[in-house]
Structures are given as C-alpha cells and as structure tokens.
Structure 1
C-alpha cells in the first residue's frame, strides 16, 4: 500500500533516530499521529499544552545531542509552541516544529483557525518547509532537518490538512541525514599574536562559555600555564564546576565576587566561546581577546583588541605550545582563596542548623547537591531557583544543567525535565522550580505520571515571584506585593492526586529525608519546600546604581510602613529574619 505524506515524514524522522514527538494533536495532524500509532520505532507523547511540548523537545535535544521534535495543529495549536521554540533558538538547540495548516483551498480566506504561520515563525526559524505538494515534500522536509542540525537551530515543517493524507511522491530523493562536524581552524599568525599578548601579560582572566564544552581539558591546561583564573557563564556551570582547579565561579547578576573580580581586575581578558550578554559585568578598557566559532559574536558585548574566528579546540591546539608557563600565581591564588571563602559562606547559609521557619531555600539546594547522582540532569527555572542552584550545587562529574539561560522564560524547568527524562531513561532528573513557574506548567505533571517518569521536582514555595521582587528593588521601586503574590495549593497533595508522590516540608529536620525519598521514588515526585520569601541574594558587585536602587526601594517601603501598610512591614520582617538567621 502506498504511503501518504505524513507517513513519509515519519519515516524520515525515524531513520534520523528520533524516538519521541511531543505535542497536542488536532485535525491537521491526525494522519501524522495515526502514522506514529502504527509504528513501533517512535512514540507520540501527548502533552497537556503545546507550550510544554516545545520545552520538552528542547530538554530532549539538549540532553541527548539529537534532534528534538514537537508538534501543534493549525493556528492556536501552532502558536502555543512559540515560547519553547524561542528558548531552543536562543539556547542553540536543534528542534523541528511540525505544524498543521488549514486545507490549501481555504488559505487566504480568513478560514476558521487560519493563521499566517510563515509570518509568525519568521523570527524563530532558520528555515520553514511549507509543503505545497507531495512532489515537493521530501526535499523541503529534509532541507529543514539538515538546517536545524547544521545550525543548531529551530526549523518548521508545515503540513496542510489536505496534503497530509495525499500519496507520497519522490521517494528516491530520501537519503540518510547526518550531523556533520568539521573544524574551523584559525591562521598561525593570529594565534601567534594572541600568544604574544598572553605571554607578555601578568594578570590574565579567562571567561569561558558553553563553546568550551568539547575543550574542557585544553582550557584547564591553558589556565594552568597562564596561572589564569576561570570565570564561567551559567550555561557552562556543568563544564567548569565549583570543584575544578582554577575555577573561581560565575559573574553576572547571580555571580560571586571572585568570578566578577577575575574578569574586571585582569590586565588581559580571554573570552572563549561565549556571548556573555551583561555588559555591566564586562570590562570595557581592558585588553580583550575573543575567540568564537560565530563571527558575529566577536566584539558584540565589549570592545575587542584581537578577535579570532575559530572553534575553541582548534584555537587551543595551536595556542598551547606557544604559551610560556608563568611562575607568578598571585592573581590566581588570591581569587581562589576568595572563592573558597565564598563557598564556605554558602555552606554556612545552607546549614540545616538554620532552622527558623519558613525555611531557607539554600538548605534544599545543598542537600540535593549532596544526594543527587554524579550523572544527574538538572533543569533549572528562571528566577531565584537558578540562584540557589548556581550557588549551592556543583555540577561536577557527568552532571548536566539546562534552562532558559538566554531567553529567560519562566515555565521551562518542568517540561524540559520531561524531555530530558525521556531521552535519558536511566538517569536521575531533578527539576528546581519556583512556585510561580511550576504553576504555569503543572498540568503536565499528569503527563509525567502517565508515562511513569521518575522526575524529582523541588518547588521553592515562597508564595511570591521572588526574582521579580529583586528586580523591582534594584530599580528603586517598593515591591508591588499584590502583583508578586502567588496563592498556592499543597503541591505534595497535588502530586498524589495526579497519581505521583510528594511531600510537603516545613521543618529543617525533614529536609534530608525528603530529598532521599524523592531520589528513591519510582514515580514523579514533588518536594513542596515551604521557604522564606525574605531570602536575599545580592549581586557580586554593588555599584552606586544598585545602592541607590535598593536604598530608594527600602526608603519607599519604610514610608509605606509608617503610613500603615502592614503587608510591607511583613515583607521587611521576612527579609530581616532571613538575613539575621
């Protein structure tokens, strides 16, 4: 029996090694979903919301290294995919979005659910395969997949309802698709210039990003020869973890002082594989060398004295023999000492002896760090949960951490964990989420139960949007407590209602056993961690702007308190209690 276009599309995905398609079906996708039902090689993962489906495809691809696939039907169903796809785009993750479209004879007539998806997805996709005929289908489908893999990008395949069931054509055009790799090698002259600058300099700082993922050993070797401290980006936390020699931590709003100072106090800054976006945390008068495989990144955030277009491995292979081993390690040693002191302070903040209630969120992150497997995968929400993870979890050994580190979207953590668990069935997957973010994605906890995914979810339940509050105070505003408030259910009870398991933790003595219980659970498990909304995390450097902003905010809060605003008084009390305990 001849195959239809939907079956042909599915065959191409199967031969590529795709195992799951995440989505919500609908009329235009029905032939495609039926094809999946008849296959033993791929599974349709029915999500409760398409937005969660696209985040799941991102999590799958990020942790497997393979193509992620999500799907939504015509109009509204396709539109729901957008936020997760933007996240995949910004995290440079290869994802294919399969969307339906109204029957071609109805296009352009303002038909029911009709949306001009080409216009909508133009800013997201590197390529859109809009199938107009069965003859064209195999060529544009394969082109979309090849571009997604080659560019680590998002591409879309549009399947009109009438084309989906048509007999497939041009089977002879279908061929094996691979993700090809090659090296981008810089010239000897430009590397020699970099070596000359580095050899003549005394205090060198390395700012390393995700582009160093395949070059960790070489970067560490360079650091040792140069006696250069390594500051890393959040995405690179699982490359240059807290326990690695010469690593001094993060910079940026959620960074630490030694990471910040390594970048800001060096004589030469060497940026390797990063487009670190926060220009206020970069020096702008320091001699800077930037190496990146994407030429457009060079000089994008700060003035660069020497730009080198190369992958990091090829650059370091040529550079390392040209580097003279330095003897003076004062700059490095001072920063390493400061980093050790900072880590000791973090350990003190996370001590279970700090048992005032509501609990300190740091304690939960520290206990997860203690008990999570060495190859655990962590999905981290945007917000204060990212702070506690970055400060209190060392992503050592084979651990991975993913999130919305460039797009900055809420509600990435739990659905990304679904995708990560599907693509890594034998590994522990931990999701660290704020209550606000989990409330956005919680409907798909039922999906995790349905597919028996043993995801461990820690919800920092402080009944407010904590990071937004921090941003308000930084801007000099008194917090808008009503807008920030989250009215929550008992999340542990919700987990059990859905068929999973969970525990609500309100006392410090119960934290450790809750973490162990979650680790050993064979069901999706929620730890409902009732924590203080007053827990503070200050940036690694407080400038006049920040002092003025926070100071102005506190003055405004004080005025409101004097005027009888009880909610602001309770907010200030929580902050004081959390800080002094």
Structure 2
C-alpha cells in the first residue's frame, strides 16, 4: 500500500530519533496525526495550548540533546507556537515546528484562517520547508532537519491540507541523516597572544558561559593555574556549581557581589563561550580576551583586546600547556571568602526558623536543594523564581537547569518540565514557577496528569508579579499594585481537581514534609507555597542610577501612604517584615 506525504514525513522524523510530537491537532494536520496513530514507536502528545507544546518541545530537546518536534494547525494554531520557538532559537536548541496550512487552491484569497506563515516565521526559523508538491517533500523536509540539527536552530515544515494526503514521491531521495561533529581550532598566533596576556596579568577573572559545557575540566585546570575566580552565566549554573573550586557565583541583576567583583575588578577578563548581554555588568576599560565559536559574538558586548574564534575545548587544549602557574592567590582568596560569606548569608535567609507569615520564598528553594536528587532536572521560570534558584540551589553532580534565560519569556516552567520528563523518564523533574507564570500555562497540568508524568511543581504564590515590581522600582516608579496583583486559586486543590496531587504550605514547619511528599509522588504534584511578596533581592552592585531609581520609588510609595493609600502601606510593611525578620 502506497504511503502519503504525511506518512513519509513521519518516516523521516523517526529516522532521526523523534518519538514524541507535542501539539494541538486540527484540519490541516489530520492526515499527519492519523499517520502517528498507526504506529507504536512515536507518540502524539496532545497539549492544551500550542504555546505550551513549543515550550515542551524545547524542554525535551534541551534536556536530551536531541531534535524535538512541535505542531500546530493553520493560522491561529501555528501562531501560538511562536513564543516557545523563539525561546528555542535564543537558547540554541534544535526544534522542528510542523504547521498546517490551508488548501493550496485557497491561498492568496484571504480565506478563513489564512496567514502568511512564511513571513511570520521568517525571523525565528533558520529555514522553512514549504511543501508545494510531493516530489519536493523529501528534499526540503530533510534539509529542514539537517539545518536544525547542524545549527541548533528552529526550522519549520509547512504542510498544506491538500498536500498532506497526496501520494508520496521521490522515496529514493531519502537518506540517513547524521549529526556530524567537528572542531573549530584557533590559529597558533591567537594561542601565543592569549598565553602572553594571561601570563602577564596579575588578577585574571574568568566569565564562563554555556559554551564551556563540554570543557568543564579544562576550564577548572586553567583557573587553578591562573589563580582566577570563575564567574558564570545563569545558564552555566549547572556547569560551574556553587561547590566547585574557584567559582564565585553570578553577576548581573540577579548575581552576587563576589561574582560581580571578579569581573569588574580584574586586570584581565577572559570570556569563554558566553555572549553575556548585560553591558552594565561588564568592564569596558579592562583588557579582555573573548573566545567563542560564533564569531559574531566577539566584541558584541564590550571591546576586546584579543578575540579568538574557536570552540572552548580546542582553545584550552592548546592554551593550557602554555600557561604558567601563578603563586599569588590574593584576588581569588578574597573573592572566594566573600562568596563563602554570601552563601552563609543566603543560608541564614533560608532558615525555617524565619517563620514569619507569609513565608520567605528562600526557605522552599533551599530545602528543595537539600532534598532533590543529585541528577534532578530543574526548569525555572523567568522572574523571582530564577533568583531563588540561582541564590539557593547548587546544580552539582548531574543536575541540569533550563529556562528562558535569553528570551526571558514567562510560562516556560511547567511545559518545559513536561518535555523534560518525557525525555528523561527516570529522572526527577522540578519546575520552579512564579504564580503569574504558572497562571499562563496551568491548563497543561492536566496534560501531565493524562500522561502520568510525576513532575514536581513549586509555585511561589505571593499574589504578585514580583520581578516586574522590582523593574518598576529600579526605574523610579511607585509599584502599580493593581496591575501587579495576581488573583490565584488554591493551586494544591487545583492539582487534585486535575487528577494530580498537591499540598498548600502556609507554615514553615510544614515545608520539609511537603517537599518529601512531592518527591515521593507518582502523580504530577504542586506545592502551593504561600510566600511573602515583600522578599527583596537587590543587585550585587547598586550604581547611582539604580540608587536614584529605588530611592525615588520609595519616596513616591511613602507619599502614597501618607495620602491614605492602604495598599502601598501593606506593600511597605511586607518589605520591612521580610527584610528585618
């Protein structure tokens, strides 16, 4: 029996290891979904929202290092995929989006649900395979897959409703697709110059990003030779965890003082595999060496004295033998001492003895850190959830961390946890979610129940968009409490209503037991953590601009209190209680 274009497409996807497709079906995808239905080697994962489907595909790919696939039907369904696909693009994660399209004979007539998807997806995709004929299909489909895998990119395959059911053609063009590996080796002059600069510097700081994932040991070897502190990006938290030698933490808005000072007070900065975007947290007069596999990143955020186009492993393999052992460790020792003190302070802030209610959110993160499996995977929302994770979690051993670190989207936590659990059936998956972000994606908790995924969701329930509040105050604005307010359900009861399990925690003495209950659960589980919206997390360095902003904001808020604004008075009281308790 001859196969149709949809079946041929599915054959090609399966040949590269695709066994899950996340989506919401519709008319243009019906033949594709029927093709899946007849096989036991690939599953259609029916999501409640296409936006969650694309985030789930991201989570699957990010935690498995394999190509993942999401799908949405014509116009409206396809458009919902965009946000998660942008996240995959900016995290450099290979994802294929399959989108339906209206019948070819109706295209260009402003037909019902017609959208020019090629134009819409042009920025997010490295390549778009618009299948116009069965003869063309195998060639453009394979090209999309190869580009996605080679570039760690997003590509789209468009399947018009009438094409989906056509008889497949050109089977002879189908061939095995492999993910090739190669090395980008720097020229010798770059190595000689880098060694000269590093050997001649007194205080070297290393800023390390996700590009160091395959070269952790070599980075540590270099850092020890140079007596250099390692500051890392948020995405690299699971490469250079808090307990690793030479690590002094994060810089940036959610960083810590030792991480900031290691970057800003060195006399030579070595940037390895990072396009760290926050220029206010980078030095601009310091000698800088930047090494990156993407040439366009070199000098993108700050001027560099030496740029090296190379993968980090190849660079360090050639560099490390040329580096002289430094004996002066004063710079490193001071920063490591400061980092140790900062961690001790974070531990104090997370003590369950701080039992003021609503509870301090730090306590939950710290106890999850204590109890979670050594190889657990954590998906973290954008916002204060990321702050508590970065400050109180050590992503040691085989732990992984993923989120929307470059795109900065809300609603990534729950759906990417779903994808991560499908890709890692035997691992413990935790999602750290703010209540605002969880409200955006909570419908797909039902999906987790349907597929019996034992994900553990920690919802920081403070009835507020807390990170947005921080941004408003930094800009010198009084917090707009009505706009920031979140009206929430009882998330634990919601979990049970969906068929999962959960517990609402309002007292410090109950936190530990709740975390252990979540760990042991075979069902999707929500910890509804009722926490204070007054918990403050200040940047590692307050400049004049930020000081003026925060100061102006507080003056305005006090003025509103004096004028009788009860909401602002409650807001200030929460911040004071949280800070001094």
* TM-score (normalizing by structure 1): 1.00
CA RMSD of aligned residues (A): 0.3
Alignment of 1:524-535 (within 5 A): 524-535=524-535
1:131 corresponds in structure 2 to 131
Q: How far apart are 1:189 and its partner, in Å?
A: 1.2
Aligned to 1:33: 33
Q: Report how many residues are paired.
A: 581
**Residue aligning to 1:254:** 254
Alignment of 1:74-93 (within 5 A): 74-93=74-93
**1:364 corresponds to:** 364
What is the alpha-carbon distance in structure 2 between the residues aligned to residue 486 and residue 148 of structure 1?
38
Cα distance in 1 for residues equivalent to 2:554 and 2:60? 43
Deviation, 1:40, is 1.0
- What is the SS of the residue equivalent to 2:301? coil
Which whole-Å CA distance do the structure 2 matches of 1:154 and 1:189 have between them?
35
Give me the whole-angstrom Cα distance separating, in 2, the residues matched to 1:200 and 1:579. Answer: 44
Q: Which residues in structure 2 correspond to 1:151-300 (within 5 Å)?
A: 151-300=151-300
1:288 Cα offset (Å): 0.2
Q: Distance in 2 between matches of 1:552 and 1:495?
A: 41
1:99-498 equivalence runs, <5 A:
99-498=99-498
Distance 2:150 2:577 in 1: 52
Cα displacement (A) at 1:164: 0.2
* 1:493-508 pair list within 5 angstroms: 493-508=493-508
CA distance in 1, matches of 2:84, 2:320: 39
Can you list the C-alpha shifts for 1:414-464, whole angstroms capped at 9, x where unaligned? 000000000000000000000000000000000000000000000000000
Give 3-state SS (helix, strand or coil) of 1:143's partner. helix
> CA offsets, 1:94-120, max 9 Å, x none?
000000000000000001100000000
Residue equivalent to 1:574: 574
1:515 is displaced (CA, Å) by 0.2
- CA apart distance, 1:19: 1.1
Identify the residue that residue 24 of structure 1 maps to in structure 2.
24
1:520 to partner: Cα distance: 0.4
Note the alpha carbon deviations across 1:44-73, whole angstroms, 9 max, x for none: 000000000000000000000000100000
5+ residue gaps in structure 1? none
CA displacement, residues 217-238 of structure 1 (integer Å, 9 cap, x when unaligned): 0000000000000000000000
Q: Secondary structure at the match of 1:391?
A: helix
Unaligned runs of 5+ in 2: none
**2:562 is equivalent to residue 562 of structure 1:** yes
CA distance in 2 between counterparts of 1:46 and 1:453 reads 14
Q: For residues 304-330 of structure 1, give each alpha carbon's deviation from its aligned partner in whole angstroms, at most 9, with x where no partner exists.
A: 010000000000000000000000000
Residue in structure 1 matched with residue 65 of structure 2 by the alignment: 65
Q: For residues 149-187 of structure 1, what are the alpha-carbon distances to aligned partners after superposition, in whole Å with 9 as ceiling and x for unaligned?
A: 000000000000000000000001111111111000001
Structure 1 residue 203 displacement after superposition: 0.1
Describe the SS at the equivalent of 1:236: helix
Q: Give the secondary structure class of the aligned counterpart of 2:45.
A: strand
Give, in whole Å, the separation in 2 of the partners of 1:26 and 1:299: 46
**What are the superposed Cα offsets for residues 332-388 of structure 1, whole Å, 9 maximum, x if unpaired?**
000000000000000000000000000000000000000000000000000000000
Using the alignment, how far apart are the partners of 1:463 and 1:268 within structure 2? 44
Deviations 1:401-425 (A, max 9, x none): 0000000000000000000000000
- SS of residue in 1 equivalent to 2:236: coil
Report the secondary structure of 2:238's partner residue: coil
Corresponding position of 2:545:
545
Q: Report the TM-score when normalising by structure 2.
A: 1.00
Secondary structure of residue in 1 paired with 2:502: strand
Distance 1:429 1:217 in 2: 26
Deviations 1:486-535 (A, max 9, x none): 00000000000000000000000000000000000000000000000000
Alpha-carbon shift at residue 137 of structure 1 (Å): 0.1
SS of residue in 2 equivalent to 1:163: helix
Instruction: Find runs of 4+ consecutive structure 1 residues off by over 2 angstroms.
Output: none
